[in-house]
Amino acid sequence: SIHANSFLAPEPNGTETFFYGVASESQRLAGCVHSTLVASLGLRDRNVKERELYLLREVRVPSCLVEVAFASNIEEEILMMSPNFRQKAASAIFEGLQKYFKAQ
């Protein structure tokens, strides 16, 4: 699941990825996607985190939720409006998925 993060204050920035289930395939998937996304975009690495989110908890296949950047941060909002940035993010996520499936 691909999202833009948001916060009340404008300062938070960066990319973070969530998964559910410690030591799970979802954790490995999240790591693959997150590492390629951070390397490609060059935004602050907010890490991969385990969270009990309904969207992740109720799925029966490996899954993760990616917060690409913060829409509440003006610099990142401007980046996300760029077609080039969105293509770069999509390509990085695809590359992370390839990395995950090749390692199986």
Q: What is the per-residue pLDDT for 104?
A: 75
Q: What is the per-residue pLDDT for 37?
A: 98
What residues in the chain have per-residue pLDDT under 70? none
| Contact by Cβ (8 Å): 66, 3 | yes
The domain defined by 2-102 carries CATH number 3.40.630.40: yes
Q: What is the per-residue pLDDT for 23?
A: 74
Q: Tell the burial category of 45 from Cβ atoms under 10 Å away from its Cβ (0-12, 13-18, 19+).
A: middle
pLDDT in tens, 64-87: 999 999 999 999 999 999 999 999
Cα(52)–Cα(19) distance, integer angstroms? 8
Q: What is the per-residue pLDDT for 22?
A: 76
